[in-house]
Structure 1
């Protein structure tokens, strides 16, 4: 990026602080209008509750504020990259998303979006996308070289479904191909992808791995959604608890990240359940 382009990015910081959420909300609406197939990749519950547009607005603002030295954001970008690899985000997604983001800037800012400003944001996004693609390429390479590792979605079978207590059920998942599984790190999670009939979409959610490494299977422990929770995450939990049975197949991505939610106070990390699974489910 040129010095002039960086100055143009910095000049948009007040606009991003005031109207960043408007921009990112418009952006996601545009993405899904033009590429509805991406609804199968994004968690639509996080669209409905505004979490994803808000998170993106904050990320874009932080990037603009640190355009001179984006390396200060590496810790945050690594967390984002870990989530992206759990959802099988690939370089081609960045090209598509970039086109919609630049178009959204032009549509939201109107006459204020000069060709020079759009060129500056195109360069800025290209720099950020290249950085993210490099980080994620390293994560994918690490995953696939682990014993029992893989990238993308891998079919698993529900070998056992066991009630641990009222409203809490553990699922033991074995690879459908009969191969080994990579040992997870402490607090790492899996992405589970389900077909949701109410949306006619594939939707994914992350669950903490709740068993000790064994090279053969993973275990997740799912808690019943409280009351009449109508959120998508609540619906995913109910789909697992009420519909998925032993022998059913689930799409699973390799473990990543660290658990973003600590175990509730008083809940042991490894109680002596026959399944080896603790009562711990990730939001």
Structure 2
């Protein structure tokens, strides 16, 4: 338990963290990787370069400070981050390392001494927050390892099939090398893939949504080639998987993880809205719902630049054709001439509230969406403008969490 004085001190830093939070977390990662370069084998370097990891950590620290007197309020966030930590292999022994470097970063940025009351208070508070993460993640490690078909850390899987789904996306069908059963998963969850790329000094770990319904003897991930557009760095792992991994090759995988999952106990209509490769967890949800709750109405809406980059289209059409309760719609921002000739899309341009209200029977539904951050901001804004209840809005960031405000 934190003392009232410590709580008051932490809360007094909320305005400071709002102003300097990203500077603190940027300095934190500089110190962390300088003092512990082995952790470069865990963290996503691309997210570091884009500043996404720094912003996500700043948001988490800010939230912890806001709710330091009621940490129960951030347990959902702790669990979401815990899933990512477990799938990456973050362990209890890493938390003291993080704590030391975080406190040093706070001191550096704010110009504090080691005996300053703010540093002492944050040292005490960090211990409590770290214990919460360690406890949650210990349960996750236990469940992942001891469930039927489960395992600890990473397990070797062989690529059974490699299928081109579009000009940008390739699916990999993965089976365990040891031939034993694999762990079940909830539709919407992901696995981490560990890639040891020739010529790269560090191991790279990436998380990919499972794009198949649970219950198969294999996992499937559908990977978009990240080609460095819009100022983003090339995707080292996605390019490696596309160019170098073939059937018969072996990839180490973590057990499935993630909190962005379909509520199978909800019988109300569900609306799945995806942009680009964000369709992968939603296809898993679609197939699972069709198999286990075929009477549940489902509307699936996918946005893509055009038909050339629209993955898994025939698969979704097949599922929809076999189930009268499923309606599928496509939105192409820049349809090709062939798209226009075939007429196999429903809207040119972007998804907006007016179109959603035309094709979605009611806002009394569970909405799930995933895709690029600008896309998710637009969908989130439309749903909130429509008056969809906050409890019915569910979304997943590919990578570190951010804000949709």
TM-score (norm 1): 0.89
Paired position in structure 1 for 2:24: 23
Paired position in structure 2 for 1:101: 102
What SS does the aligned partner of 1:159 have?
Answer: strand
Paired position in structure 1 for 2:159: 158
What SS does the aligned partner of 1:89 have?
Answer: coil
Indicate how the Cα distance of structure 1 residues 4 and 31 shifts in structure 2: closer, same or farther if over 3 A, else same: same
- Aligned mates of 2:232, 2:149 — CA distance in 1: 34
**Pick aligned residue for 1:263 from 274, 297, 308:** 274
- Aligned mates of 2:217, 2:66 — CA distance in 1: 46
Rg larger in 1 or in 2? 2
Q: CA deviation at 1:216?
A: 2.3
Paired position in structure 1 for 2:205: 204
* C-alpha contact 2:144 2:152 (8 A) present in aligned 1: yes
Q: CA deviation at 1:137?
A: 1.0
Paired position in structure 2 for 1:276: none
Paired position in structure 1 for 2:135: 134
Q: CA deviation at 1:231?
A: 4.3
* C-alpha contact 2:187 2:213 (8 A) present in aligned 1: no
- Aligned mates of 2:114, 2:20 — CA distance in 1: 14
Indicate how the Cα distance of structure 1 residues 157 and 5 shifts in structure 2: closer, same or farther if over 3 A, else same: same
Q: CA deviation at 1:270?
A: 4.9
* C-alpha contact 1:189 1:208 (8 A) present in aligned 2: yes
How many residue pairs match? The answer is: 277
| Structure with the larger RCO, 1 or 2 (CA within 8 Å, 6+ apart) | 1
Moved more, 239-248 or 163-172: 163-172
TM-score (norm 2): 0.63
Root mean square deviation of aligned Cα: 2.5
What SS does the aligned partner of 2:47 have?
Answer: helix
- Aligned mates of 1:259, 1:104 — CA distance in 2: 32
Write the deviation string for residues 97-126 of structure 1: whole angstroms up to 9, x where unpaired. 111111222222224664332221111000
- Give the 5 Å matches for 1:1-283: 1-111=2-112, 114-197=115-198, 199-214=200-215, 216-226=217-227, 231=232, 234-259=235-260, 263-264=274-275, 265-266=301-302, 270-271=315-316, 283=398
Q: CA deviation at 1:169?
A: 1.6
What SS does the aligned partner of 1:166 have?
Answer: coil
Indicate how the Cα distance of structure 1 residues 218 and 233 shifts in structure 2: closer, same or farther if over 3 A, else same: farther
* C-alpha contact 2:227 2:233 (8 A) present in aligned 1: no
Indicate how the Cα distance of structure 1 residues 175 and 59 shifts in structure 2: closer, same or farther if over 3 A, else same: same
What SS does the aligned partner of 1:149 have?
Answer: coil
Indicate how the Cα distance of structure 1 residues 111 and 93 shifts in structure 2: closer, same or farther if over 3 A, else same: closer
Indicate how the Cα distance of structure 1 residues 230 and 237 shifts in structure 2: closer, same or farther if over 3 A, else same: farther
Mind listing any 5+ residue stretches in structure 1 that lack a counterpart? 274-279
* C-alpha contact 1:40 1:202 (8 A) present in aligned 2: yes
- Aligned mates of 1:115, 1:106 — CA distance in 2: 9
- Aligned mates of 1:26, 1:134 — CA distance in 2: 27
- Aligned mates of 1:117, 1:46 — CA distance in 2: 29
Q: CA deviation at 1:151?
A: 2.1
